[in-house]
Structure 1
Amino acid sequence: MNKFDAVVVGDANIDLVVAGYGRFPQPGEEVFVDRMTMHVGGGAALFALSLARLGLAVAFKGVLGSDSLGRFIREQFAAYGIDTSLIQASGVHPTGISIAFNPDTDRSFISYAGSNLELDLDRLSPDEIARGRHVHVTGYRGRENHEPYLRMIKALKRKGATLSCDVGWDDSGEWYGGIFELMRHIDVFLMNETEALHYTGCSDVDDALRHMAQYGRHIVVKLGADGAAAMKDGLIVRRPGHKVEAVDTTGAGDAFNAGYLYGFIEGRDPEACLEYGNACGALSVGAYGGSTAAPDLRQLHAFLHRHRGGTEVPGEAARSAWERGK
């Protein structure tokens, strides 16, 4: 019996968001800014918060420092209804911190991984994690952790969970081809446009999706302001993005993931999942912090109703066997 709709495995840290400044200080200088705020950060944590806001029962698996910042993250998870019983407390590293600078032109980050370094894939319990009917995994680092990552994925598949993965940026620059082996075992594989083109060597998103169709059954590529595209069983569908005023784009991709996978977990077709993902991504950029503006289900449906002129979202009537049995 599954206890959770989804278990999320990966990173959680503190985001310090700095806004309203003209320049970085020179050595010996002090620069005052308009605003500095503290939020939960980390792709896995932001995804978990956004998914929980949509009403699903979510548990988080990661490592937090035994410090005030770790307690802050636990409290924020609890406020969203996220189960924290799977979180490991570190006695070695403090909780990670990322300082996000948000000038009008682009974002910059200074980051310390902290306790996230202690998430050991080979020591995870498949029985514990598979208490979710769906499992979302992050933290793939190419050749560096490919083998333990693949072992974890195969073990979870044997337990019967459906799986999703957001591969993330390859800061090694290798764009390791082992990712295509990983795709064979993942139910929904997510990446952004730049990552898709780097991994496949293609210059066009549709070509990249067709290339990845040789390996994965269900691939999703985020296109930023242009929306997103999905390929399932060789069929490619696209949905456009929404024009909104962006305050902070931190976590927009994680919010998209939450919307898309909410649809997937609830049995919707890829077109409806894209609608949910694009709407969640658009709503998330309306406030500082990666999950501050993440919508609940009522807000999501209201946004879609406004932006679709009152028409029904494609696939909205489709329900999974799980949901019909509730």
Structure 2
Amino acid sequence: MEMSKIVAVIGQMNVDLIYKDINRFPNEGEEVFATDFKIELGGGPMVIPIMLSRLGIPVKLGTYFGDDFQSRIASDLLNDIRFHYVETLKTRKKHPVVVTCVITTEAERSFVCYNEGADELDCGPESIYEFYKSSSICFCPQDLSVARKLKDEGKILVFDVGWTDDLSFQKIGEHLRVCDYFTPNEKEAEKLTGTHDPLVMLDRLEAYTKTPIVKLGRRGCIVKLDSKYIHVPGLKFNTIDPTGAGDNFLTGLIYGLYHELPLVDCIRYGNIMGGLCTEVLGCFRWDLNPQMIEAYWNQCPEAQEITHFEL
């Protein structure tokens, strides 16, 4: 079967309750006030198809809904943005939507999350393969047999992780071996590799995955290509909330992959998308359009080969 030129992603729906700029975290029994508040779709893989659709890329999102209040909120939020490229997948969980309280200060952000853990394993490998089989770029499935089958069919598999205390090569190593692109941030890469040295991080990641890319926030990214360490600098943005920057980075990377651009250029789009989302509260830059990201493209610094990098 010939692949469609489409990006397909499976992920849970996320709803964020965002409390912006408290002046301090409360002690037990205390109350503090935020300067702003917003209920918004949250981060995770679902960001990718939602934002790519605003750039004219054909997409589909596989996700889970229940009969609970959280699912109704998530569905209403999708309808509000007129995103209709959704396929509802089977789950045994009664509360399949993730709900997160996001609390920000001037310096940082913290999260309190409820997640019952709906995932692809509830659907079975046949359903997951059927969802992905007509696409060209996929978010790497949890089921390794499906991931390997898609890989053998020539699909591009991208993979990302969130922070967990048990994050390790033992846990995700086989997924890394099958995926084409893996994009941890520096904290996740440090946890996986056991080193503070960014170049050693790339070396140790390369033992598992062909093209490791480590995100460095405002400093851009580093990647190892053809045995060379490359720094792709970031741009300056008027950051007010870093929530969702990693998910939007991956969106920009896939935007470049969809257009079959060189990897360094794909990373530049990742830096642009990741930076643009930090200028708004929440994970989504709703005024995003192709003209906006092309304007920033013209401001991108040149990538440089490096022999060391200080975190």
TM-score class normalised by the smaller sequence: 0.7 to 0.9
Offset of residue 270 of structure 1: 1.3
Match of 1:260 in 2: 253
Letter in 2 for 1:284: C
Q: Out of 229, 234, 237, which is 1:236 matched to?
A: 229
User: Match of 2:150, as an amino acid?
Assistant: L
Distance 2:193 2:175 in 1: 14
Q: Is the 8 A contact 2:63 2:87 kept in 1?
A: no
Runs (5+) with no aligned partner, structure 2: 304-311
1:169 Cα deviation (Å)?
Answer: 1.6
In structure 2, the residue corresponding to 1:195 is in which secondary structure?
A: helix
Relative distance call for 1:17 and 1:302 in structure 2 (3 A) is same
Cα distance in 1 between the residues matched to 2:148 and 2:212:
18
Which residue in 2 is equivalent to 1:44?
Answer: 45
* Corresponding position of 1:135: 138
Amino acid at match of 2:124: R
Q: Residue 201 in 1 paired to residue 202 in 2? A: no
- The one-letter amino acid of 1:55's match is G
Which residue identity lines up with residue 62 of structure 2 in the other structure? K
> Tell me, which stretches of 5 or more residues in structure 1 are unaligned?
139-147, 315-326
Task: Look up the match of 1:295.
Answer: 288
Give how far 1:189 is off.
Answer: 1.4
Any conservation in 1 of the 2:238–2:279 contact (CA below 8 Å)?
yes
Matched position secondary structure for 1:184 = helix
State the partner residue of 2:306.
none
**Equivalent-residue separation in structure 1 for 2:227 and 2:175 (angstroms):** 18
Give the counterpart of 2:182 among 173, 181, 189. 189
The residue that corresponds to 2:158 in the other structure is 164
Q: Does 1:58 align with 2:59?
A: yes
Q: Is it true that 1:180 corresponds to 2:173 in the alignment?
A: yes
Aligned mate of 1:282, from 265, 275, 280:
275
Distance 1:62 1:189 in 2: 22
Structure 1 residue 50: deviation in Å?
Answer: 2.4
Following superposition, the deviation at residue 256 of structure 1 comes to 0.7
Please tell me whether the aligned partners of residues 284 and 295 of structure 1 are also in contact (alpha carbons under 8 angstroms).
no
Of residues 10-19 and 79-88 in structure 1, the stretch that sits farther from structure 2 once superposed is: 79-88
- Structure 2 counterpart of 1:246: 239
Pairing partner for 1:100 from 99, 102, 114: 102
Q: Distance in 1 between matches of 2:274 and 2:18?
A: 19
Query: TM-score, with normalisation over the residues of structure 2?
Result: 0.84
Report the alpha carbon displacement of residue 234 of structure 1 after superposing the two structures with TM. 3.5
- The Cα offsets for residues 176-232 of structure 1, whole Å up to 9 and x where unpaired, read as 435333222111111111222222233322222123323322221101111012234
CA RMSD across the alignment: 2.8
How many residue pairs get aligned? The number is 299
Counterpart position of 2:85: 83
- 1:38 CA displacement: 0.7
Match of 1:6 in 2: 7
Cα 1:171–1:178 shift into 2, 3 Å = closer
Q: Alpha carbons of 1:214 and 1:24: their partners in 2 closer, same or farther (altered >3 Å)?
A: closer
Q: State the identity as a percent.
A: 27
AA aligned to 2:49 is A
Q: Which amino acid aligns with 1:197?
A: E
Is it true that 1:227 corresponds to 2:220 in the alignment? yes
CA drift at 1:90: 6.4
Whichever residue aligns with residue 92 of structure 1, its letter is K
Counterpart of 1:290 in 2: which secondary structure? coil
Change in Cα spacing, 1:91 to 1:253, as seen in structure 2 (3 Å) is closer
Counterparts of 1:202 and 1:235, CA distance in 2: 19
Give distance in 2, aligned partners of 1:87 and 1:127: 11
Contact 1:209 1:219 in 2 (8 A): yes
1:208–1:23: structure 2 CA closer, same or farther, 3 Å change rule? closer
